[in-house]
A and B are shown apart, each in its own frame.
Chain A
Amino acid sequence: MARMKFLCDAERCIECNACVTACKNEHEVPWGVNRRRVITLNDGLPGEKSISVACMHCTDAPCKAVCPVDCFYTTPDGVVLHDKDLCIGCGYCLYACPFGAPQFPQDGAFGSRGKMDKCTFCAGGPEADFSEEEYKKYGRNRLAEGKLPLCAEMCSTKALLAGDADEVADLFRERVIRRADAAGGEPKQQRLRQGRPWGWETAYPEARP
């Protein structure tokens, strides 16, 4: 069974925001809602890093765990989707999500929240595939067309990857090894350290030199 995942390569992302634009355009996302956004750390300083973030389609999704009306579900492809007909716009999922993925249109009176909106991995929603209703509520269903999310497909530097977790991991692993080889120098441990993905030592403190 496939497990669809996103991965953003911080060494490649150039903060062009084309993924954000592509997403908004493909799904006709309304103003104020950003299913995807680019975050830059240490902006303007030497060595700044950018990553493109959206719903990560968690295997054990916290949004799904806390939803009081149980509107979330996981597709056989491992994509976490929600039913807007069930959603009450309470915002509990926003508090639970570590990535800030759930978005809420604020077009009502007194700042009231509308139905939650988030990245669908271009997989539509619970309505029939390619139906007008599905497009209106969730955007285009590219996965059913045999395509992958547009944000990743059009990424010019191939920083953003989207696909089956095994495929994505294989491709990223090849990159890490290539970078380690390109870094040159001896001994091998030093080369591997230089080629490591950015943030590796933050995630794994025991790997620090």
Chain B
Amino acid sequence: MTWLAWRQFRTQALVALGLLAAFAALVLVTGAHLHDGYDAVGGARCEARNDCPLLYGLDGVLADLLGPALLAIPALLGMFWGAPLLARELEGGTYRLAWTQSVTRRRWLLTKVALVGVAALAVAGLASWLVSWWFAPLDAVNMNRFDPSVFGERGVVAIGYAGFAFALGVAAGALTRRMLTAMAATLLGFVTARIAFTSWVRPHLLASRHLLTPLTLGKSVGFRESPSGISVFTGFPPLPNGWGISAALVDRSHHALSAAQLHRVLVRTCPTIAAGLPQYPGAGNASGGLTDGDFQSCLQALSHHLQLLVAYQPPSHYWPLQALETAIFLAAALALVGAAAWRLGA
């Protein structure tokens, strides 16, 4: 059975091997250049001196392309390896030949899935390792490894995504029995699952930590109109290689304050600002008509009454989260293969 599975997979495997070799050559050559450039200026320390090498030419293009390439690879594996695995046999009728040899359907399915599936995991793992290595100097400067567009394009999660996309293709093929339909369903299902997981599951996988900081550390602190009057708002404080989940303004006893309560604090502390912003009613950035000095002194005054309470994932949660997400996607992949087997009566 292994021979047949390999023989059917051979062409696809060789094509993938060729593409992967070209990808690796490109990444290694340009990556070596990038690494050299950063090594020459002392790596991430260049940030403080503001003399980091500029990305120009091919490096600049690759910086924009390599990450998305890693997003696309699992989807492509699902569409071109997963979806046709069963759909081609079911659509072309060759399953009637395969299933009437002296080999059970279960063994037939598992051999094919194992061979092509493991190859898919290997391709994704290798591609992810190459991309992670290429970006290492930039990531050391940017310190944003939890950024949604970075987290999914580094480390080991791509292996989970590839396993999931592949199994989704297999299951879609078993269900629809049409190759093109299965390919489309795989793409749609994979993109949906990735977006849903990133938005709603990943932030809650591990309990977040809490941090109390002065109000003034928050990024883009400012004032804005709210239904209950002019209020204060803020973003996260700097969290190098951490991931802000939520930020709330709290009073001295650490109670979160509503917009109305914040308005009352503002009335007491900075009456001028609380009185209104007649020049720009409803404007998002409400410093119009007031000088920057008014603005800064108000924030200083406010910081005696308000603090910023932040829920965040610390840098130490990075690898646990990578491992958890990978495991969840791989578990889903196993369930999908099980569903495909059930669908075929194997």
A and B interact physically: no
Residues of chain A whose beta carbon lies under 8 Å from any beta carbon of chain B = none
Residues of chain B whose beta carbon lies under 8 Å from any beta carbon of chain A = none
